Amino acid sequence: MQLENQFSEIHQLISKAKVSAYRAVNTELINLYWEIGKYISQKTINEEWGKGIVKNLSLYLKQTEPELKGFSLQNLWRMKQFYEAYKDISKLSPLVREIPWTHNMIILSSSKSREEQEFYIRLTIKERLSKRELERHIDSGFYERIILSNTKLSPVLRELHPTANQVFKDKYIFDFLSLPKSFSEKNLRKGIIKNLKKFILEVGKDFTFVGEEYRIQVGKKDFYIDLVFYHRELQCLVAIDLKITDFKPEYMGKMDFYLEALDKNIKKEHEKPSVGIILCKSKDSQVVEYALNRSISPTLISQYETKLISKKLLEEKLEDFFEIENNISKIVE
């Protein structure tokens, strides 16, 4: 067994080296594309080059470097666009070198503002998103939902976990569950477990699954929490109570009980107090505010949608939001 542990350590070293090598290769590739884009941009600005010359460049590179891919006419124009998009943004130009070229192109073609580009670049780096995962976030209007989010946290939760508003969302999209028109809490729970990888992608990759219908014993009775996760950044257990109805204030008492039991019987000494999420089909913001104002529990109330919200609708809401913010700023000034 001791030898196996030593072999495992060697394997970890190899895996770490592979990751470092991939990052180094990716950085050099992005640097190369950046320099080519810069060169083409300067030549076209000075009107030395037109579309015909860039086309000839593509043919020339294919002949002189046949083993290399990525020098199609379309990709050369993308390099130019890539360079021109980030050349004057000092905080983003280093970051684009940390993600693959394909990811850069997806973000560049799908984002409507510098803020949105920065958001998805940083998210890709932090969460190590695959191409498919990045596309899913963009299609689900993740950026718009975060900006429009109005997550209400209990005072205790803000005090215990100051960064909680950066971790939890006001609304989650579970379009991957394929639930029947009329579904039960059990259907919802089983759908989440069956699609756990997609669920964690939506809620955040720092969530680690602990258990379904997680049993806690208080006195001589057993109680079961729908879902329990552990959050690596917050270093605490997260209890999720699933509801298929509108939020009701009485749900808070049940969650308070769960969190007390987790902290007294399950939480380890080095871990921080547990957090509760009451996940409802819908909620009245004023009812939520009243329920949380005097709560002594680190709990939040979120809602979920089982279908994708129209990205166009989210974009329109975001435009309205920025317009209102701008008008308020003018009034204040």
The answer on 261 and 179 residing in a single domain is yes
Instruction: Supply the DSSP string of 234-303, one letter for each residue.
Output: TTEEEEEEE-SSB--TTHHHHHHHHHHHIIIII--TTSPPPEEEEEESB--HHHHHHHHHT--S-EEEEE
Residue 255: which domain range? 152-310
Domains identified in the chain, total number: 2
Per-residue pLDDT tens digits for 31-87: 999 999 999 999 988 888 888 999 999 999 888 887 777 889 999 999 999 999 999
pLDDT at 134 over 90: yes
Report the C-alpha gap between 290 and 311 in whole angstroms.
Answer: 31
Q: Using alpha carbons, list the distances in angstroms from residue 27 to 6, 19, 91, 99, 130.
A: 32, 12, 16, 8, 17
Contacts of 147 (CB under 8 A, 6+ apart): 318, 321
Residues 298-312 have a mean pLDDT of: 85
Within-domain flag for 82: yes
Taking alpha carbons only, the member of 210, 307, 301, 222 closest to residue 257 is 222
DSSP 128: T
- Listed as own residue / partner, the contacts of 204-213 with beta carbons closer than 8 Å and 24 or more positions apart are 204/127, 204/167, 204/231, 205/127, 205/128, 206/167, 206/231, 206/232, 206/233, 206/234, 207/231, 207/232, 207/238, 208/232, 210/237, 213/189
The answer on 84 and 193 residing in a single domain is no
pLDDT at 246: 94
CATH number at residue 195: 3.40.1350.10
Within-domain flag for 32: yes
The answer on 168 and 93 residing in a single domain is no
pLDDT at 10: 65
Within-domain flag for 200: yes
The answer on 260 and 213 residing in a single domain is yes
The answer on 130 and 184 residing in a single domain is no
Within-domain flag for 163: yes
Report the C-alpha gap between 145 and 142 in whole angstroms.
Answer: 5
Q: Using alpha carbons, list the distances in angstroms from residue 71 to 32, 43, 44, 219.
A: 11, 17, 18, 69
pLDDT at 333 over 70: no
C-beta atoms surrounding 129 within 10 Å:
21
Strand partners, 304: 172
Per-residue pLDDT tens digits for 276-286: 999 999 988 88
Within-domain flag for 284: yes
pLDDT at 320: 65
Top mean pLDDT of 126-140, 141-155, 305-319 is at 126-140
Residues 140-145 have a mean pLDDT of: 88
The answer on 168 and 121 residing in a single domain is no
The answer on 264 and 293 residing in a single domain is yes
The SS3 assignment for 18 reads: helix
The answer on 73 and 178 residing in a single domain is no
The answer on 181 and 110 residing in a single domain is no
Model confidence at 325, pLDDT cuts 50, 70, 90, reads: low
Within-domain flag for 326: no
The answer on 102 and 216 residing in a single domain is no
Per-residue pLDDT tens digits for 162-171: 888 888 988 8
The answer on 116 and 193 residing in a single domain is no
Single pTM value for the model: 0.75
Pairing mode of beta strands 221-231, 207-218: antiparallel
Last residue of a domain, one of 113, 137, 161: 137
Within-domain flag for 325: no
Report the C-alpha gap between 268 and 102 in whole angstroms.
Answer: 42
pLDDT at 2: 67
Buried b (16+ CB within 10 A) or exposed e, 246-283: ebeeebbeebbbbbebbbeeebeeeeebbbbbbbbbeb
pLDDT at 22: 72
Within-domain flag for 241: yes
The answer on 288 and 243 residing in a single domain is yes
pLDDT at 249 over 60: yes
- What is the distance between the terminal CA atoms of the chain, rounded to a whole angstrom? 70
